[in-house]
């Protein structure tokens, strides 16, 4: 079966069509490179997903019932079938209109499934701009529905802008310009794209800061940036003496692009004007008309709501990141002991989370070490992290007890006097022995185990002291793990964002971490942490990451005293 799949995948690539394979449950088990390109998705994003639920949509971008899907009906009947058009949702939220062929298979072992071959429909490849007046009512509604679904599935303004321009060019115009007003009032020409000879590319040379918007200007762009209704414009509007710097910039834009007809609409947010959207034609001979203005107004209105959401979430993210970073401590200085920490926020604006590390001296001279992760990826998780951190500090300072008992107290307190959801953490006590060695005692509340790398190039996970995560409500006894740390060894605490990837077995991440830690064990500790992040954290990671690493002295030394200054 593997040989057959490889052959079909090769044939599909040569033919320039996409192919994916589904099992008897309709889950995607294999996908070709061309399919990934057509769907604007990576193979890990596709494999394991239900092919119908994940990809198939109606022409307005809505969910498609299996009973209404010709491909699904053929799959359930176990029959070969083909069709001229199906709508597939791409990774950027746009819809791909595709022709398709489905062929069932049965292996020698009795496994069943189907091959799905698809290609971009010819009408979707033409790329010619059309008048909005020439669009049927259903096509206009489809564009507006696609605009809504496409823009509301991202919380990044830059990504939303790029998706907006892909919707309009070349469908309505061969130029699209997005001017945005920053929160301080400055105007920036954020994006300029041009469709030429079948290719859409970005004109970064035409982007950049813009002059301020004058209050009394009657020029089309100035009016749109003040929130006036959409209007038509051409180079003739800017041939006379410019009334402002922004009018002069517009004249330069017309000269550089050769646009003979443009339509400009304000991008209105919930409470303010966020910018202006301009579509223009240079290669197409037809000029825009009133019908285009009506459609552009509808599109820009939807864009304004989407941009308002992205700005609101980015403000929330900024608040959460600021709070989170301020709560991350300065590391205590321990003579002879190296200690380094790293915090890396998630790449997605929606993934502000509750990862944290902590290290602080205790009254008896030992050092408390903490790594933790409060459930969730939002401002609430970051606030919960602050509560858990502060409560743990108080319990650890006030009670000279084994870590397991401290965490048991914390777990009980969280259920009654905290708003924090479930959390995982490791709480450890680092103690100097009489002969100058270092001893570690720790308890693990559902967190990935610490990793110990020794200078001989070996690395192992410390599985002792493992117990239930915090917040479960269960009354369970917790245990402690103990270890005498070898000289010049590296101990690493980390959160799951370092090793976890959606749709990938966690053991793969653990193995990647162990092998890289062993290989880097003789690097300087700061370099060790940086390289560990670069090599272990997968590019597909959607989570934030915290790392706390320490390195024991090479030789024994007198018992040190910790001081709370940065290490």
- What are the extents of the domains in the chain? 2-124, 132-317, 328-551
Whether 161 and 176 have beta carbons less than 8 Å apart is answered as: no
- The pLDDT of residue 264 is 96
Q: What local confidence, expressed as pLDDT, does residue 139 receive?
A: 67
- Name the CATH superfamily housing domain 2-124: PAS domain (3.30.450.20)
Domain over 328-551 is classified CATH 1.10.1270.20: no
CA angle 33, 36, 38 (to 5 degrees): 110
Examine domains 2-124 and 328-551 and report if their fold is the same: no
pLDDT reported for residue 61: 74
Per-residue burial over 89-103, b = 16 or more CB atoms within 10 Å of its CB, e = otherwise: beebbbbbbbbbbbe
> What 3-state class would DSSP assign to 522?
coil
Give one DSSP letter per residue of 23-85, joined into a string: ETTSBEEEE-HHHHHHHT--HHHHTTSBHHHHHEE-TTS-B--GGG-HHHHHHHHT--EEEEE
Provide long-range contacts, Cβ within 8 A and 24+ apart, for 512-520. 512/536, 513/451, 514/451, 514/459, 514/460, 514/461, 515/459, 517/451, 517/453, 517/459, 517/490, 517/492, 518/453, 518/457, 518/458, 518/459, 519/457, 520/453
What string of pLDDT tens digits covers the 567 residues of the chain? Answer: 555 555 555 555 555 678 889 988 899 988 888 889 889 999 899 999 999 999 998 777 778 878 778 888 888 888 888 877 788 998 888 888 888 888 888 877 777 888 888 888 754 444 444 455 455 565 677 778 778 878 877 878 888 999 999 989 988 899 999 999 998 889 999 999 999 887 889 999 999 999 999 888 889 999 999 999 999 999 988 887 888 899 999 999 999 999 999 999 999 998 899 999 999 999 888 899 888 898 999 999 999 999 988 888 777 777 766 766 666 778 998 888 999 999 887 765 445 567 889 999 999 999 999 999 987 655 666 677 778 888 999 999 998 899 999 999 999 888 877 766 788 999 999 998 888 789 999 999 999 999 999 999 999 999 999 999 998 878 788 999 999 999 999 999 999 999 987 778 889 999 999 999 999 999 999 999 999 999 998 877 778 899 999 999 986 544 444 544 433
274 in Cβ contact with 312 (< 8 Å): no
CB 540 within 8 A of CB 501: yes
In this structure, CATH architecture of domain 132-317: 2-Layer Sandwich (3.30)
> Which pLDDT does position 200 carry in this prediction?
87
What pLDDT, on the 0 to 100 scale, is given for residue 6? 59
Nearest to 332 by CA among 393, 410, 384, 408: 393
Select from 436, 438, 488, 484 the least CA-distant residue to 458.
488
Sheet holding 81-89, edge to edge: 28-31, 18-23, 112-120, 95-106, 81-89, 56-57
């Amino acid at each position: 079966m593997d040989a057959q799949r490889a052959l079909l995948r090769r044939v599909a690539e040569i033919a320039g069509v996409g192919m994916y394979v589904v099992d008897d449950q309709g889950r995607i088990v294999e996908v070709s490179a061309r399919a990934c390109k057509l769907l604007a998705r990576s193979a890990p994003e596709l494999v394991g997903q239900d092919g119908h639920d994940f990809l198939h949509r109606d022409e307005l971008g809505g969910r498609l019932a299996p009973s209404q899907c010709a491909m699904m009906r053929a799959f359930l009947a176990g029959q070969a079938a083909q069709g001229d058009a199906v709508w597939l949702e791409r990774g950027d939220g746009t819809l791909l209109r595709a022709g398709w062929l489905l062929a069932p298979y049965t292996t020698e072992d009795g496994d069943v499934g189907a091959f799905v071959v698809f290609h971009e429909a010819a009408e979707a490849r033409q790329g010619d701009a059309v008048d909005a007046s020439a669009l049927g009512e259903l096509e206009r509604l489809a564009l507006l529905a696609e605009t809504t679904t496409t823009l509301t599935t991202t919380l990044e303004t830059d990504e939303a802008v790029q998706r907006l321009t892909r919707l309009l060019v070349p469908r309505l115009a061969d130029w699209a310009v997005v001017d945005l007003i920053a929160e301080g009032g400055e105007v920036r020409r954020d994006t300029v794209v041009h469709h030429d000879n079948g290719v859409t590319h970005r004109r970064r040379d035409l982007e950049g800061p813009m002059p301020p918007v004058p209050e009394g200007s009657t020029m089309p762009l100035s009016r749109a940036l003040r929130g006036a209704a959409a209007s038509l414009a051409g180079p003739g509007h800017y041939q006379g003496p410019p009334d402002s710097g922004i009018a002069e910039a517009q004249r330069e834009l017309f000269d550089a692009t050769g646009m003979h007809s443009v339509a400009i609409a304000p991008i209105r947010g919930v409470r303010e004007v966020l910018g202006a959207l301009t579509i223009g034609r240079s290669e197409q001979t037809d000029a825009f008309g009133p019908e285009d203005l009506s459609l552009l107004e509808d599109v820009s209105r939807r864009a304004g709501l989407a941009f308002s959401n992205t700005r609101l979430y980015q403000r929330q993210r900024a608040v959460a990141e600021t709070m989170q970073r301020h709560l991350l401590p300065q590391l205590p200085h321990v003579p002879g002991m190296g200690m380094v920490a790293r915090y890396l926020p998630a790449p997605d604006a929606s993934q502000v989370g509750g990862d944290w590390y902590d290290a602080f001296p205790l009254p008896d001279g030992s050092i408390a070490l903490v790594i933790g992760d409060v459930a969730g990826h939002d401002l609430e998780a970051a606030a919960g992290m602050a509560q858990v951190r502060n409560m743990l500090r108080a319990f650890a300072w006030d009670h000279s007890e084994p870590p397991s008992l401290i965490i048991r107290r914390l777990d009980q307190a969280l259920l009654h006097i905290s708003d924090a959801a479930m959390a995982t953490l490791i709480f450890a006590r680092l103690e100097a022995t009489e002969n100058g060695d270092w001893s570690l005692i720790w308890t693990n509340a559902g967190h990935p185990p610490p990793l110990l790398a020794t200078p001989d190039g070996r690395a192992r996970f410390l599985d002792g002291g493992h117990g239930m995560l915090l917040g479960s409500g269960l009354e369970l006894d917790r245990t402690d793990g103990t270890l005498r740390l070898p000289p010049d060894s590296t101990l690493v605490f980390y959160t799951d964002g370092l090793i976890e990837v959606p749709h990938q077995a966690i053991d793969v991440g653990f193995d990647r971490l162990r092998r890289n830690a062993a290989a880097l064990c003789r690097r300087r500790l700061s370099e060790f942490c940086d390289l560990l992040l670069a090599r272990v954290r997968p590019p597909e990671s959607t989570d934030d990451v915290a790392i706390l690493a320490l390195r024991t002295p090479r030789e024994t030394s007198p018992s040190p005293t910790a001081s709370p200054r940065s290490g």
